[in-house]
Structure 1
Amino acid sequence: METFLSVVPLTPHPDTPPRAIGSVVCSISWQGPGNWCFNYIIGEPPEALLLPPAVVPARADGLWQRTCFELFLKRPGEPGYCEFNFSPSGEWAAYRFDEYRAGMAQLEVKPPRITSTDPAQFAAGMTAHLTALGIDAETAKMMAEMGAGGIGSGPVSNYALNARLEDPAYDSPGPWVAAITAVIEEADGTKSYWALAHPSEKPDFHHPDGFVLDLFARA
């Protein structure tokens, strides 16, 4: 049974104001041990954004250079932390750090499941998911494209990306603290950096003081 946790607004860094983006929020829900859902919502339609093209979901680096939604997690009082990147392309990344911007390494994690209101990305992501469930590739593609057609059948007022983090590594007792962030690139190339808090003069999503949201793992 889903347990709703929170809806939090992100704000742009004052040095990188948006031109046409009025709001970015993230809703967080806990859906069972090690099963988190992060839903990023931009208060503008997809055509207002410059989105990377949809591809078959896979791990990739450098996703933050374009429109990308991010999550940073750590234990209170510990210097190490994890970084997750969720791209509208369907690609993803996960890293661990020993301390602030030091000791970076790939984080071994179950691939997050990413879907969005962009029909092309939805189809690519759903095809991969259905194939992983054992459905043959041709049938999976047909089913995914049918679902994507429903998404694109009417006007969409908001762009939303849903990232499901389902991994037993995140079901242990005790609290987590999070920094939730986003890089938003608009159709005209304007790029803004959004977060729950901006503790430094320049955008810095890794800053220790940016971890301001308490997330309590539940048994």
Structure 2
Amino acid sequence: MRPQTFTLACHPATPAHRVEAVTGRLTPEADWVRLRWRIDGAQDLVVPPFAGKGRADNLWQRTCFELFVADPDGEAYAEFNLSPSERWAAYDFTARREGMTERPAPREPVCTMRVGETMAIFDAAIPRAALPAMPWRCGISAVIEEEGGHKSYWALTHAGEAPDFHDPACFTLAVAAPQAA
């Protein structure tokens, strides 16, 4: 399948200090779904320290990258939180913020962060077996922490007065099921 590019918008209630843009791409492959977020204006980016692979809750309280995957016709969705610390989390919801359970993952996601002078790249690979069956409505987002504890919230779109990545209105990226060969 072809990569799909995306551009995230900063929620107007939480403007960034120096971050100028967050863009990226989602690439479904046979065994993995690869995501890349590029942060321009990353001079003051706060990157969580390395913690090693493993599940962890509350990753969104620091710089964190998120993927929401929903069935195009239903209310249920899965959430994946991916941290530059290499920690991750995966949850299932029956509806918006309801029925949360830990989502099983047969293999751990792979997370890699590279930071330059003014730009940073966060790459993640999620095992396809950890994801719901395609097609999907996706929400892609990021919590960006800058020096001084300032956080900005980035998503494909924002629907309310406060950032809410769980709002189904934010799941705007359509990913089709692969075509049979």
TM-score scaled by structure 1?
A: 0.76
Q: Which structure carries more strand by proportion? A: 2
Aligned length: 178
- Establish whether residue 116 from structure 1 lines up as the match of residue 77 from structure 2: no
Candidates 2, 5, 8, aligned match of 1:4: 2
Query: The residue matched to 2:60 in structure 1 has which SS?
Result: helix
Q: Which residue in the other structure is 1:182 paired with?
A: 142
| Structure 1 CA distance for aligned equivalents of residues 13 and 132 of structure 2 | 37
* 1:66-215 correspondence runs (5 A): 66-109=62-105, 110-118=107-115, 156-170=117-131, 172=133, 174-215=134-175
Candidates 52, 64, 72, aligned match of 2:60: 64
Structure 2 residue ranges without an equivalent (≥5): none
Percent identity over paired residues: 39
Residue 170 of structure 1 contacts residue 217 of structure 1 at CA under 8 Å; is this kept in 2?
no
Q: Which structure carries more helix by proportion? A: 1
| Structure 1 CA distance for aligned equivalents of residues 121 and 21 of structure 2 | 12
Query: The residue matched to 1:117 in structure 2 has which SS?
Result: strand
Structure 1 residue ranges without an equivalent (≥5): 119-154
In the alignment, residue 116 of structure 1 is paired with which amino acid?
M
| Change in 2 beyond 3 A, CA 1:58/1:8 | same
TM-score scaled by structure 2?
A: 0.92
Residue 60 of structure 1 contacts residue 93 of structure 1 at CA under 8 Å; is this kept in 2?
yes
| Structure 2 CA distance for aligned equivalents of residues 61 and 192 of structure 1 | 19
Cα-Cα RMSD = 1.6
Runs of 4+ residues over 3 Å off in structure 1: 169-172
Q: Which residue in the other structure is 2:25 paired with?
A: 27
| Change in 2 beyond 3 A, CA 1:200/1:194 | same
- Radius of gyration: which is bigger? 1
